[in-house]
Amino acid sequence: MSSKFSVRSASREHLRQADESYVEHLAFASLVAALLFAAGLACLVHAIAPAFCRRSASRIVALLTRLFKERERLRDSVREGSGPLVLTLLVLLSVPPLGLMIAAGGQTLFLPLAGLCLAVPLAYLFSNPDLDPVI
């Protein structure tokens, strides 16, 4: 008796159980991943500076709970989670320049340049400390 695992058939079965097309499932799972990453970033920011992101992670968890119950609320969930998602995107956009600076060995100018790379995410965080929705 051969029990060979087939990714294709297992994926089709999962999509059938979820009653979603591949694209619908991709959008849903991608949003969940982005929101979980944003919740983790908000928790990290809150751990470093407790004045920021005081309710962000718990709001995202509540949002995800509603989203799993009502999967058709995908667009509403994007709007509600837009604050943490914007911060996450801004931080991710600042990582490549920081990586290039480190790789280039810019020791003398590293701190001021790092500050410039992180200026936009920090400005956003200071203007929206609880990461309220922006859309």
Question: Is residue 67 assigned to a domain?
Answer: yes
Nearest to 132 by CA among 73, 84, 61: 84
Task: Write phi, then psi, for 119 (nearest 5 degrees).
Answer: -65, -40
Give the model's confidence band at 4: pLDDT under 50 very low, under 70 low, under 90 confident, else very high: confident
Alpha carbon distance 52, 12 (integer Å): 42
Q: Which residue in the block uniquely carries the two structure tokens 């400005």?
A: 123
Question: Is residue 5 assigned to a domain?
Answer: no
Question: Is residue 60 assigned to a domain?
Answer: yes
| In contact, 53 and 131? CB cutoff 8 Å | yes
Residue range 70-91: mean pLDDT, rounded: 91
Q: Is the pLDDT of residue 1 over 50?
A: no
pLDDT at position 106 is 61
Q: Return the higher-pLDDT residue of 129 and 111.
A: 129
The parent domain of residue 63 ranges over: 14-127
C-alpha gyration radius of the chain: 19
pLDDT at position 39 is 95
pLDDT at position 63 is 94
In the chain, how many domains are there?
Answer: 1
